[in-house]
Each structure stands twice: as C-alpha cells, then as structure tokens.
Amino acid sequence: MERGKVKKKDRGKETEREKIREKGKEEKRKEVEKGNEKGKEEGKRKERETEKEKQRFKGKEETEKDNSSVLSKPLLEPPEKNNHILVLGLDGAGKTSVLHSLALNRVQHSEAPTQGFNEVCISTEDSRMEFLEIGGSEPFRCYWETYVSRGILLIFVVDSADHNRLPEAKKHLHQLIETNPIIPLVVFANKQDLEAAYHITDIHEALALSEVGNNRKMFLFGTQVTENGSEIPSTMQDAVDLIAHLAADMQ
C-alpha cells in the first residue's frame, strides 16, 4: 500500500516534471520562433539598408558623372601640351568659378582652391577649347611664365573687390605679357556683384592696361559668379564667343 502510494506519488511527480519539461520546450520553441522572426526582421532591415546604400552610391556616382561633364581635370603634374588657353590670376580671384561657369553655361562656384593645374575643355558648335588654370598661390606661380610663353591666349582674372592686392596682380600681369609679346589678353574683372568691387574703368587703371602694348589684342570684361545654377551674365557668354574667335585665330 505504502509502496503503491509512493508509486502513485512518484507518478504524480513524473507527470508534473513532464508538464514542466513540455512547458519548457514550448517556451523554448516560442523563443526560437521569436528569434527567427527577429532574425528575419534584422535581415529585412539589412536588405533595406543595403538598398538605401546602393541608391546613395548610385546618386553619388551620378552626381560625379554630372560634374565630370564640366570636363574638369585636376592635374598635379604640369601638362605637356602647348595650345592651351591659360587662366591665371592671384589665388581667390575666381578663376575656377569663372571657368566652370563658362563650361556649364550656368553659375558654378569652385569647391576648393586649385592645387596645381586644372584642365577644362569647352566645346562650342564649331570649336573645342582647352583651358588650363594654374593655381594662383605662391608655389605655383613659377609655372606661369613657362606656360604663358607657349599658350595661345591669356585670361587674367582679378578680384575687383580686393583693392589691396590689385598692385600685386598688376605686377604679375605685366611680367606675364612681357614674356610673350603677342599673346592676346582677356582680363576678367571678377566679383562685380560685390559692393566693394571696382568698376571696370577703375580696374583698367589699377592694372595699367593702357600700357599693355598697341600690337596686342586686349579685352576687359566685368564678370560675376553669383548663385549656383543661375544663368551666367550675357557679358560672360559674349566673352566665350570672343575667346573662341581669338583662339581660332591663334591656332
């Protein structure tokens, strides 16, 4: 009897243990399912992230492609060719901004100072012009004279509002034109949008352009690069046409 009772008790305990084991298994199963769900969610999230990343990358690639339509090629080594249209002037005058705006036919400010050389190609209906900007800061100025002696046209850009540096700009400009007695000169009196900007007649005087030489073709334009994406002023469009003519004459 005792034993039977014990057995019954034992069986009871066994059933109890059985129930606990079952409950444990059930909970574990639920945990695993929950885990799987979480895993699936995590997987989906990662997929979404990768897709977003791909889209971002594609966007970046497209932006880069768009910018490359400017055909701007920053070079660290001096280029070999001789038939460049040179774009020179002190650092910060706006050489890159003007050049990119002319190439795109839309205002486009530069994003960083030019370190070295910057080649830009502009194609019009009947010509293809290769521009070479050389950095305007001290370490790059030693290249100016070398290139001006083999260039076909000199575009000299000045910041019309930077009154203090106009004498320095004038000194460099006159050294350059002495190096090449026939190269035509186009001066861009840039940043005309700024209140402090000198009018082009004052720039003509400040740069002593009357002393440039009677046998040389010389032109002066007021230019401005204002809001990114806006249309370039008509004076800048006229300047491109003139540059194309001058370059064709020199080829």
Is residue 172 part of the contact set for ligand G3D (CB under 6 A)? no
- Rounded CA separation 30/36 (Å): 10
Residue number closest to Mg ion, CB atom: 114
The strand ranges marked E within the chain are: 72-75, 85-88, 117-123, 128-134, 153-159, 185-190, 218-222
Strands 185-190 and 153-159: parallel
Site of tokens 């057995």: 7
Given 85, 190, 232, 246, the residue binding ligand G3D (CB under 6 A)? 190
Total residues binding ligand G3D (CB under 6 A): 20
Residues 60-99 that bind ligand G3D (CB under 6 A): 89, 91-97
What one-letter code names the amino acid at 218? M
Of residues 2 and 138, the one with the C-beta less far from ligand G3D: 138
Helix axes 138-148, 166-179, angle to 10 degrees: 30
Residue 150 DSSP one-character state: T
Minimum gap (Å) between residue 116 Cβ and ligand G3D: 12
Cα 247 off chain centre by: 26
Is residue 97 part of the contact set for Mg ion (CB under 5 A)? no
Q: Which range binds ligand G3D by CB under 6 A, 45-53, 145-153, 174-182, 191-199?
A: 191-199
Is residue 202 part of the contact set for ligand G3D (CB under 6 A)? no
- Contacts with ligand G3D, 134-153, as mask; x by CB under 6 A: --x-----------------
Is residue 119 part of the contact set for ligand G3D (CB under 6 A)? no
Binding partner of residue 165 among Mg ion, ligand G3D, none, CB under 5 to 8 Å per kind?
A: none
- For residue 95, how many other CB atoms are within 10 A of its CB? 28
Minimum gap (Å) between residue 118 Cβ and ligand G3D: 8
Minimum gap (Å) between residue 48 Cβ and ligand G3D: 37
Of residues 136 and 184, the one with the C-beta less far from ligand G3D: 136
Residues 207-226 that bind ligand G3D (CB under 6 A): 224-225
Is residue 101 part of the contact set for Mg ion (CB under 5 A)? no
CB 89 within 8 A of CB 136: yes
**Dihedral sign, CA of 223, 225, 227, 231?**
positive
Tokens of 74: 């920053």
Alpha-carbon distances of 12 from 19, 76, 89, rounded to whole Å? 11, 88, 99
**Site for ligand G3D, rule CB under 6 A:** 89, 91-97, 109-110, 113-114, 136, 157, 190-191, 193-194, 224-225
**Site for Mg ion, rule CB under 5 A:** 95-96, 114
